[in-house]
Chains A and B, each alone.
Chain A
Amino acid sequence: MKAFIPVFPVKGMLMGWLWCALICGSFTTQVYAQETPADSLKLIQLNEVVVISAGRQLDHQKQRKPLSTLDEFLESSRSIKMVKRGAYAWEPTMNDMASERLAITIDGMQIFGACTDKMDPITSYVDVSNLSEAEIGSGQQGAMFGNTIGGGINLKLDKSNFRPTGWNGSLESAYETNNQMRVFGGELNYSNAKFYLNTDAIYRKADNFYAGGDEEVLFSQFEKYNFSLNSGYKLAEDKSISATLIYDEANDVGYPALTMDVSLARAVIGSVSFNQDTVLGSLTNWESKLYYNTIKHTMDDTKRPNVPIHMDMPGWSKTAGFYTQASLNNEKNHFFFKLDGFYNKSYAEMTMYPVNSDEPLMFMLTWPDVRTKDVGFYAEGHIPFEKASLKLSTRLAYHSNTVADDFGLNSLKIFYPEMDRTNTRFLKSFSAQYHKMLNDFHFNGGLSYGERAPSVSEGYGFYLFNSFDNHDYIGDPELKTESSAEANLSVTYKKPTFEIKAAANYFHVFNYIIGAVDPSLSTMTIGADGVKIYTNLDYAQLFNASLAGKYAISNAFKLSGSVSYHRGIDDDGENLPLISPLSYGSALDFYKNQYSASLSVHGAGEQTNYNPAYGETKTAAYATLSASFGKRFFIKENDLFVKAGIENMLDAYYSSYTDWNNLPRMGRNFYLTISYSIN
């Protein structure tokens, strides 16, 4: 024991505790037929849930484009915008904050991308075929999934969950004209009250896409496949075990906005869970999970012309973790508790091949084998009042980073001679959210405080080239913890056929982490403009406001629309990068007698608040028009669903503020999706 306790004190003990709990739990035979709420997750008032599941529920009424990429699904959400470096692996942002300020999990599992240049957000390692929905919580409402500033996204896997459906399967295929994307997918499931097994596979291959005006965007191709297995077995009426395995691999992925492409992005994600209806008498919906995932990411510049110096940049990220959670319900109050922890190892290297081949290879560690340990406890309680309720939640976490590789430690010590190998933080989050109903009005208001540790790149990155502002970035292991005080307010007016919601939130982020130019440093990357060091600004301010409405014109026609405004400034009043201009969207959906159709418009105003110091240029206003048509057929007991559509009908040439280096977006695109489901 002594050998590992100094290395891993808190988590070691907690893991031990978890195992004890698991083993004890499986031997206790508590057969309380206690009534449990249908879904404990519903207790958290998530701002939004994006329904993804394509096959099983055939709820295509809600889906304008069933086999689109997960990225497109997420982008359809009101609160998420996607940063694009190509046609693949978009990076989700929420409240104008990206990966490092968000907690993104897959079925509660922490996963971290292996690319130093953010070319593999973890959302790129799953596909729509294995997901049922994305749960989105803004700001500290997402703290259940991890330490966050901007919010949390949990991608829920699609499982049969002992529903008595027996065998069923489906085949799906889609084709898109613009980039010749071919999609083939299938799933085969068996489920009864005692056992279930879900299997699915999906394959996507796309060539270069064409921007508006038929302009080919070179290096925008991609190819990816994904397999997943989900299985569960009931040990007893109130106990079950389940396991998940996902294999995802992408090859030959072009990143037209960057200087390098990707030859391999591979993830293996696995977990085992134990579920029990009740535990310790009054706790319900007890779920415990152990998981492990490993990611390998290899950048490739061999297909690019005019590369000044050839580089190899592989990266690895491995994460092991657990969580155990349960609810406590009495007549009035609901409580939810979660204990979670993970251990991540991030390692990335760069080898440069000198033009003069007699010279030795140039090698550096860009992520110096950083080991991150995090153990957190999350609790929330709902206190109901008359026509009102208060939700209180907190997350307390122990977080530490250790540079395990001596080569990497010595490299960083060039910049920080006094730095410690290990950096430990205690992260806190508190939130109070009040909900009041007044006739047809709902008022929601909340105040919260949250903290996050710097990401691996922000803390330990070594000469990471950012093509957006054309600077090399160096991490700072002595960065202060970033924290945020947040206020949110929303008013909803709700009638059976009509709903309108006005919402706003404000984040005052202390010690905001961002790169600042150090003019004394010499650029490593050939052609870069300078070197930036990640620094804490005293503070930054982010403000988001939105107005969204829905109107059911008739049973068949539904109209929806939204408009949002965003602003982000630093402590000098300068604009923060990647802040959305005024954006809007509107859609008319039709559904009747198994026919569906939609007409939608999306657009944004001119980006007036941009910052050239971060490599931004003004993006012009744009609007795009899209339409889709679908029909569901019944063939005996089976379902055939055909959906066709056209996106960017007017073939506009445009790029939005999220498009890396003003990469143009896809021009006119026709798609066709066919799903055949055998019940």
Chain B
Amino acid sequence: MKTLKYIFAILILSVSFVSCSDDDENTPVEVNPVEGLTMIYEIPAADHIVQIYSEKQNLEVGYNEISFRIKDLASNEYVGNAAPTWMPMMHMETMSHSAPHSTLTNSEESTVYKGYIVFQMASNETEYWELTLNYNLNGQAVEEAVMVSVVQPADGMKKTQVFMGSDETRYILAYVNPKSPMVAINDLQAVLYKMETMMNFPIVENYKITVDPRMPGMGNHSSPNNVDMTYNSTSKMYNGKLSLTMTGYWKINLKLMDQNGEVLKGEDVTELNPESSLYFELEF
């Protein structure tokens, strides 16, 4: 045992030597501002190119974080003063509607404009999503549009709910976090919008969403120390806690309540009622 400890000590020492020398030789490397993101669309224009990035390989129904940047071909540089806005539009056969979306900011990386869109439905052969971008380039207002394809989530898990509340209002609730659930208390995050018109989706503030995770494959048991989601005005999202006691398939049963505690959608899970009509699904 003693010998082993010496060997360990030597190993650890040598590792720290190696890591030290690494540090010394390191020259500052330019950080790739779109590291880890996939470029899903590229829009070529006369004097510039717009590149659209996502964490996923495709845009999916639900909450999508989207980044884009504009490359000025004249200077070969990415533009940091484009002040862009965007508008997603679903063109159906008989009507069109937009989708809940955030404003765009470039606060983290000056040349990367970031925001999110909650797509309520997938596109198909006859119904398609179009994303229109408006921005400034070299003092000119530019508008570019691109047809984007939105698919159902690859894992088949339901993470977006579009529903009519008992107050006759149509709501859109979408799962945001955790992206990689763990056997732990996870930070749970979701966005809630209401559909005022086809084009207007304001954020719903100060409601409450109760959280009851269940495992239907294992007697529909729950977990302790979950925290219901409440509105956070800084992130403009609903934050709560989600306890997952094991890996596998979980159904997160939800109940939406307004400021007065009136239940707008969802039911308690009981012996007789194994699931709520408002829920998210996840597996890991």
Contacts and interface: CB of A to CB of B under 8 A. Distances in A.
B217 interface: yes
Interface string A339-367: 00000000000001011100111111100
B2 A16 contact: yes
A414 B225 contact: yes
A520 B5 contact: no
A525 interface: yes
Contact of A361 (B223, B224, B245, B248): B248
Given A320-B1, A364-B245, A352 B218 contact: yes
Nearest to A521: B224
A355 B217 contact: yes
A526 B218 contact: yes
B182 A3 contact: no
A27 B194 CA distance: 85
28 contacts: A3-B12, A3-B13, A15-B1, A16-B2, A352-B217, A354-B218, A354-B248, A354-B249, A359-B249, A360-B247, A361-B248, A362-B248, A363-B246, A363-B248, A364-B246, A365-B183, A410-B184, A411-B184, A411-B245, A413-B184, A414-B185, A414-B223, A415-B224, A417-B225, A462-B245, A463-B245, A522-B224, A524-B219
Contact of A12 (B5, B183, B185, B283): B5
Given A414-B245, A523-B221, A362 B215 contact: yes
A328 B1 CA distance: 29
A385 interface: no
A309 interface: yes
Contacts of B17: none
Interface string B47-58: 000000000000
Contacts of A354: 217-218, 248-249
A360 B157 CA distance: 12
B273 to A, nearest CB: 15
Summarize A's interface: helix, strand, loop or mixed. Answer: loop
B1 A359 contact: no
A521 B222 CA distance: 8
Contacts of B245: 364, 411, 414, 462-463, 524
Interface in B175-198: 182-185
Interface in B209-267: 215, 217-219, 221-225, 243-249
Given A354-B217, A524-B245, 19 more contacts: A2-B9, A3-B9, A4-B5, A4-B9, A320-B1, A354-B218, A359-B217, A359-B248, A360-B249, A362-B218, A362-B246, A364-B183, A364-B247, A410-B184, A414-B243, A417-B185, A417-B225, A524-B219, A525-B219
A407 B2 contact: no
A15 B2 contact: yes
Contacts of B221: 522-524
Nearest to A343: B1
Interface in A1-28: 1-4, 12, 15-16, 19
Question: On chain B, which size bracket covers the interface?
Answer: 20 to 34
A579 interface: no
Contacts of B12: 3
A290 interface: yes
Contacts of B9: 1-4
A352 to B, nearest CB: 6
Give the 6 A-B residue pairs with the shortest CB-CB distance, closest first.
A410-B184, A362-B248, A522-B222, A3-B12, A354-B217, A364-B246
Interface string A199-232: 0000000000000000000000000000000000
Contacts of A526: 218-219
Contact of A3 (B8, B246, B247, B283): B8
A122 to B, nearest CB: 21
A352 B218 CA distance: 9
Nearest to B224: A521
B13 to A, nearest CB: 7
Contact of B248 (A15, A352, A527): A352
A225 B171 CA distance: 67
Interface string B151-183: 000000000000000000000000000000011
A353 to B, nearest CB: 9
A410 B245 CA distance: 9
A2 to B, nearest CB: 8
A407 B183 contact: yes
Contacts of B248: 352, 354, 359-363
B185 A413 contact: yes
A524 B183 CA distance: 14
Nearest to B12: A3
B2 A522 contact: no
Contacts of B222: 522
Contacts of A360: 247-249, 283-284
Nearest to B182: A410
Contact of B224 (A3, A355, A520): A520
Given A3-B13, A414-B223, A359 B2 contact: no
A63 B138 CA distance: 102
A309 B217 CA distance: 9
A462 B243 CA distance: 14
B283 to A, nearest CB: 5
A526 B217 CA distance: 10
B247 A362 contact: yes
Interface string A443-467: 0000000000000000000110000
Contact of A523 (B2, B219, B284): B219
A449 B160 CA distance: 61
B207 to A, nearest CB: 25
A522 B222 CA distance: 5
B247 A361 contact: yes
A525 B221 CA distance: 8
Interface string A521-546: 11111110000000000000000000
Interface string A506-530: 0000000000000011111111000
A415 B225 contact: yes
Interface in B261-284: 283-284
Nearest to A2: B9
A21 to B, nearest CB: 13
Interface string B1-32: 11001001100110000000000000000000
Contacts of A407: 182-183
Contacts of B5: 4, 12
Contact of A309 (B218, B225, B249): B218
Contacts of B244: 414
Interface string A302-314: 0000000100000
A361 B13 CA distance: 40
B181 to A, nearest CB: 11
Contacts of A364: 183, 245-247
Nearest to A518: B224
B45 to A, nearest CB: 44
A365 to B, nearest CB: 8
A551 to B, nearest CB: 53
A417 B244 CA distance: 13
A602 to B, nearest CB: 42
Interface string A123-152: 000000000000000000000000000000
Contacts of A355: 217
Nearest to B244: A414
A524 B219 CA distance: 7
